[in-house]
Amino acid sequence: MNPRSLLLHAYVYAVLVFILLPILVILPMAFSETTYLTFPPQGLTLSWFGDFFTDSRWMASTWFSVKIAVLTAITTAVVGTMATYALVRGANAMGTLFQAFLIGPIVVPHIALAVALYLFFQNAGLSGTTLGYVLAHSVIAMPFTVFTVAAALTSVDPALEDAAMSCGASRFNAFRLVTLPIILPNVISGALFAFIISFDEPVIAFFLAGIRDKTLPRMMFDDIEQNLTPIIPAIAVLLTLLSILVLLAAAVLKHMADRNKGAEGQ
């Protein structure tokens, strides 16, 4: 390996260590027997996980987050697929502007986006509502769904749909019966990414939260202000496991998508 390659590998591993080190510090703290955060942990116990699952407040916020995340995943999967189809199949002079709008939620800081959504939703009566949460989370999750679906749709030959329409199918049926089964693994992958982005989102939830209905990340921030117990690292462990499961599911779906491409090529 030449010096440039060695330097690149060293940089990549340094970034990985920088990302993983906080997780490696937080995870052991979830098993500490003390009632306050300490590292290294003193003793080993699973009681903090039990406290989380038996506390009605934590369970209410968790199920509320699940509901918002599921609705966000469905919304972004449907709207994102339609937007991607229009972007890929109907590319025109507006395509560049459309892409800029899609990238916007990634480029704009979430705090600025949260303030703007809060001011708009206050006037529209959507602040603190399920619909407001779903719309806000769909905005920030949509780019990831669109890019995931676009990666599959650009590799699908438009001649397949043309052949279906030449046999009497409408454009919608040609998409539904020919293209959609091919890109379906990517659509589901995009929905999974939207789910985890919505479930873990803390900034917008902080501005949109109502008196009663609060997402899990917002509840975690409220608990940190009052009680700094190892239940927060315990929840972090569960969220980490959830993210790993989503990544594994996305990897399986990517394998299915690659297999579909191979079958299409044959």
How does pLDDT run across 77-89, given as a tens digit for each residue? 888 888 888 877 7
Model confidence at 171: pLDDT above 80: no
Locate 70 and state its tokens.
Answer: 């599921």
Q: Does some domain include residue 47?
A: no
Model confidence at 43: pLDDT above 80: no
For position 60, what pLDDT does the model report? Answer: 87
pLDDT, average across residues 129-147: 86
Q: Does some domain include residue 168?
A: yes
Q: Are residues 76 and 13 in the same domain?
A: no
Angle CA 221–137–183, to nearest 5: 135
Angle CA 43–48–52, to nearest 5: 175
Helical segments of 47-179, H only: 47-54, 56-89, 95-107, 110-124, 130-153, 158-166, 171-174
Q: Are residues 64 and 12 in the same domain?
A: no
The dihedrals phi and psi of 230, each to the nearest 5 degrees, come to -65, 0
Q: Report d(CA 152, CA 149) in Å as an integer.
A: 5
Query: In this prediction, what percent of the chain has a pLDDT beyond 90?
Result: 3
With beta carbons less than 8 A apart as the criterion, state whether 76 and 195 touch. no
Model confidence at 192: pLDDT above 70: yes
Q: Does some domain include residue 51?
A: no
Angle CA 63–129–225, to nearest 5: 65
**Ranges 20-34, 126-140, 224-238, 251-265: which has the least confidence:** 251-265
Q: Report d(CA 59, CA 170) in Å as an integer.
A: 47
Residues sharing a CB contact under 8 Å with residue 250, sequence separation 6 or more, in sequence order: 189, 192, 193
Number of domains in the chain: 2
Q: Are residues 101 and 187 in the same domain?
A: yes
With beta carbons less than 8 A apart as the criterion, state whether 62 and 216 touch. yes
The single residue listed with the structure tokens 């209905």 is 213
Q: Is 262 helix (H, G, I), strand (E, B) or coil?
A: helix
Domain extent at residue 6: 1-27
Whether residue 233 has a cis bond before it, omega within 30° of 0: no
Q: Does some domain include residue 81?
A: yes
For position 71, what pLDDT does the model report? Answer: 92
With beta carbons less than 8 A apart as the criterion, state whether 164 and 177 touch. yes
Q: Report d(CA 154, CA 252) in Å as an integer.
A: 20
Q: Are residues 88 and 180 in the same domain?
A: yes
pLDDT single digits (tens) 202-256: 888 888 776 677 788 888 877 777 777 778 888 888 888 888 888 787 777 777 6
pLDDT, average across residues 19-34: 79
Locate 262 and state its tokens.
Answer: 């191979």
pLDDT single digits (tens) 70-117: 999 999 988 888 888 887 776 665 666 677 777 777 777 778 888 888
Confidence at 24, pLDDT banded by 50, 70, 90 = confident
Highest mean pLDDT (candidates 15-19, 32-36, 39-43, 167-171): 15-19
Query: In this prediction, what percent of the chain has a pLDDT beyond 70?
Result: 91
* DSSP labels, 199-246: HH--HHHHHH--SS---HHHHHHHHHHH---THHHHHHHHHHHHHHHH
Q: Report d(CA 219, CA 196) in Å as an integer.
A: 17
Model confidence at 39: pLDDT above 70: yes
Residues sharing a CB contact under 8 Å with residue 22, sequence separation 6 or more, in sequence order: none
Q: Does some domain include residue 34?
A: no
pLDDT, average across residues 194-202: 86
Q: Are residues 216 and 158 in the same domain?
A: yes
Q: Are residues 89 and 6 in the same domain?
A: no
Q: Are residues 67 and 189 in the same domain?
A: yes
Count CB neighbours of 61 within 10 A. 24
